[in-house]
């Protein structure tokens, strides 16, 4: 019965016209928000009877592209005390979306105060539809799957919720998802609340013990580096290969950061016999893409309460930001091979919001994409090396026997005109000179500007520091107070003065003690 439903749902998903869906969503969003403060300020009511092309042209001319900081100042905290900005969630009632926003996703900025992203009840429902479509497509492609008779282990972040006002909450996306999920899903989701609420190290241990003791867990969902930590903890406890310890593990759903630098370690863990891997492109603002079984890349999913626009990567400024009226295009105009920054208008009341993620289309029928990282890049030496290129360099390094870089970060030392890398590795006998050569050669092959600057002596050879495999996690826990769950280590130092990579390198001049990861 459930399999038949999944097949029908997957068939409907795959037959939908993404371009028509975007035109319809655009109109629905404008009509729904026409009587909000934002809708009145931008005369949405005048656009509803126009053709898509005319309405979109008017929309672009009236509504500037905004970052979170700009949206926060212009609308989210418009009538609220300055002292509340970045310290508590705003209270929005018919401001940028009809009615009261009852949930806010808290995301920790690396260089700014905490972001409080509006998360409407409609967006919550759209995310649930996306999750159902993902699972329907998986089951339709794999009818022999056993996941319907098993459970999923969801590697959440903090489960703590903050009360904004009566009936209004803020917290980590995973906390909101777990707290307000449909009651009928509770028996199929692990871990239970008492484990989810533990500090990260205790939670990691408890989840590993749970995985080893409950053979009904068939799916793990989380961020790649934390999934690897969990699986390694299972091996430490069980003292056997992971495939023997978890014979029923069928599927790993991963997102939040690229799998590319970690793929080699996954393959080694499973001795080449990996479970199915499906990638997502989720965010606190919107659900954007997922991978179907048997397909090499994710498909953009323009069906879930979001109107997409795209700005060419080359049109971003030196800080990775588009101009307020940059030449954005809708989905129907994207080109294969071009890297774009994503601009979102959502059913949570974010309008022309610059999310900070970049993608590249590898096909437009269907719309296959690859996640190319954040829009930050190594540019302090004018080289514009992208996050995707940085991650590919580490992936090349990991293909060398015994490297297995666990985590990494790269920044720039401007006076010395060189890149500074910190690599967390397993093998203490490795040499930084070997890593330097591979990283340098790879970036020269991938990035023409970098290759030219290196040949001209405008950029010197990179400096590489090797630290123990948990070294960067130790730094993140002690210096940033962030570890585990949905927390991501920035692979490119996002600070304007390179203070993050400097902090990391200085931290490891004096190895910390008393931190167990």
pLDDT band at residue 198 using 50, 70 and 90 as cut-offs = confident
Identify the CA nearest to 356 among candidates 140, 109, 102, 25: 109
Instruction: For residue 56, give every residue at least 6 positions away whose Cβ sits within 8 Å of its Cβ, in sequence order, or none.
Output: 26, 330
- Cβ-contact 447, 406 below 8 angstroms: no
C-alpha span between 127 and 255 (Å, rounded): 15
What is the percent of the chain with per-residue pLDDT over 90, rounded to a whole number?
Answer: 54
For range 5-28, the mean pLDDT: 96
Contact 466/435 with Cβ under 8 angstroms? yes
What number is the average pLDDT over the span 9-22? Answer: 97
Q: Given this model, what pLDDT does residue 347 score?
A: 98
Instruction: Tell me which of 332 and 388 has the higher pLDDT.
Output: 332
| Percent of the chain at pLDDT exceeding 70 | 92
DSSP string, 488-500: ---SB---TT-HH
pLDDT > 90? residue 340: yes
pLDDT band for 348, please (50, 70, 90 cuts): very high
Query: pLDDT value at position 512?
Result: 40
pLDDT in tens, 131-149: 999 999 999 999 999 999 9
Give the model's confidence band at 511: pLDDT under 50 very low, under 70 low, under 90 confident, else very high. Answer: very low
pLDDT in tens, 443-501: 999 888 888 888 888 889 999 999 988 888 888 888 777 666 556 788 888 877 788 89
Per residue in 280-322, pLDDT (tens digit) is: 998 889 999 999 999 999 999 999 999 999 999 889 886 778 9
pLDDT of residue 514: 37
User: pLDDT tier at 428 (50, 70, 90 boundaries)?
Assistant: confident
Distances, alpha carbon 497 to alpha carbons 69, 90, 137, 200, 415, in Å: 19, 30, 45, 30, 12
Domain with CATH 3.40.50.12780 in the chain: 1-375
State CA 497 to chain mean position distance: 24
Residues 6+ apart with CB under 8 A from 437: none
Residue 56: is its pLDDT beyond 70?
Answer: yes
pLDDT band at 510 (very low <50, low <70, confident <90, very high): very low
- Architecture (CATH level 2) of domain 1-375: 3-Layer(aba) Sandwich (3.40)
Which of 266-270, 289-293, 382-386 is the least confident region?
A: 382-386
How many residues are recorded in the chain? 517
For the domain spanning 387-507, the CATH number is 3.30.70
Peptide bond into 366 cis (omega under 30): yes
Q: Which of 135, 150, 282, 136 is nearest to 223 (CA)?
A: 282
pLDDT band (50, 70, 90) for residue 81: low
Q: Kindly report which listed range (27-36, 206-215, 395-404, 432-441) carries the lowest average pLDDT score.
A: 395-404
pLDDT tens track for 103-128:
999 886 544 467 899 999 999 999 99
Has residue 223 got a pLDDT over 50?
yes
Q: pLDDT grade, residue 408 (50/70/90)?
A: very high
127-131, 212-216, 381-385: range with lowest mean pLDDT: 381-385
Q: Is the pLDDT of residue 516 over 70?
A: no
**Quick check: 221 and 147 in contact, CB under 8 A?**
no
Which residue would you say has higher pLDDT here, 509 or 184?
Answer: 184
Residue 61 has pLDDT above 50, yes or no: yes
Name the segment(s) of the chain with CATH classification 3.30.70. 387-507
Close Cβ partners of 29 (under 8 Å, ≥ 6 residues apart): 305, 307, 345, 346, 347
Give me the chain's average pLDDT, please.
88
Once rounded to an integer, what is the mean pLDDT over residues 380-403? 82
∠ CA 94-95-96 to the nearest 5 degrees?
A: 105
């Amino acid at each position: 019965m459930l399999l038949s439903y999944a097949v029908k749902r997957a068939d409907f998903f795959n037959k939908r016209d993404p371009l028509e869906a975007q035109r319809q969503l655009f109109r629905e969003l404008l009509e729904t928000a026409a009587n909000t403060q934002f809708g009145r300020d931008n005369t949405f009511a005048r656009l509803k009877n126009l053709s898509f092309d005319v309405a979109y042209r008017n929309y672009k001319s009236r509504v500037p592209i905004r970052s979170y900081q700009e949206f926060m100042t212009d609308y989210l905290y418009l009538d609220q005390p300055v002292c509340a900005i970045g310290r508590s969630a705003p209270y929005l009632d018919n401001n940028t979306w009809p009615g009261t926003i009852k949930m806010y996703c808290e995301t920790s900025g690396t260089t700014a105060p905490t972001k409080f992203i509006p998360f409407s009840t409609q967006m919550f429902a759209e995310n649930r539809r996306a999750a159902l479509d993902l699972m329907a497509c998986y089951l339709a492609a794999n009818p022999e799957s056993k996941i319907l008779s098993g459970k999923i282990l969801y590697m959440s972040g903090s489960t703590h919720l903050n009360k904004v006002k009566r009936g209004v909450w803020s917290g980590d996306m995973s906390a909101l998802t777990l707290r307000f999920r449909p009651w009928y899903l509770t028996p199929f989701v692990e871990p239970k609340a008492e484990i989810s609420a533990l500090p990260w190290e205790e939670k990691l241990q408890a989840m590993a013990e749970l995985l080893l003791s409950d053979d009904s867990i068939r799916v793990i969902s989380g961020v790649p580096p934390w999934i690897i930590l969990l699986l390694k903890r299972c091996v430490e406890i069980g003292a056997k290969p992971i495939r023997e310890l978890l014979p029923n593990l069928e599927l790993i759903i991963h997102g939040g950061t690229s799998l590319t630098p970690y793929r080699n370690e996954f393959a080694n863990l499973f001795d080449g016999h990996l479970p199915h891997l499906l990638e997502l492109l989720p965010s606190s603002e919107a659900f954007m893409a997922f991978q179907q079984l048997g397909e090499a890349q994710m498909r953009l999913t323009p069906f879930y309460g979001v109107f997409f626009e795209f700005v060419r990567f080359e049109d971003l400024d030196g800080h990775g930001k588009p101009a307020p009226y940059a030449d954005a295009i809708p989905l129907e105009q994207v080109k294969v091979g071009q890297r774009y920054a994503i601009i979102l208008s959502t059913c949570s009341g974010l309008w022309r919001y610059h999310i900070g993620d970049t993608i590249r289309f590898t096909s437009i029928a269907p719309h296959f994409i690859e996640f190319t990282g954040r829009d930050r890049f190594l540019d302090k030496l004018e080289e514009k090396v992208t996050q995707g290129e940085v991650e590919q360099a580490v992936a090349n390094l990991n293909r060398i026997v015994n490297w297995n870089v666990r985590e990494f970060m790269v920044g720039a030392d401007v006076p010395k005109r060189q890149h500074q890398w910190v690599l967390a590795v397993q093998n203490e006998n490795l040499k930084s000179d070997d890593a330097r050569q591979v990283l340098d050669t790879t970036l020269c092959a991938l990035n023409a500007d970098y290759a030219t600057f290196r040949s001209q002596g405008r950029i010197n050879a990179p400096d590489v520091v090797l630290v123990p495999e948990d070294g960067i996690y130790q730094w993140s826990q002690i210096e940033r107070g962030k570890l585990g769950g949905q927390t991501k280590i920035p692979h490119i130092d996002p600070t304007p003065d390179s203070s993050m990579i400097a902090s990391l390198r200085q931290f490891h001049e004096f190895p910390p003690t008393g931190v167990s990861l």
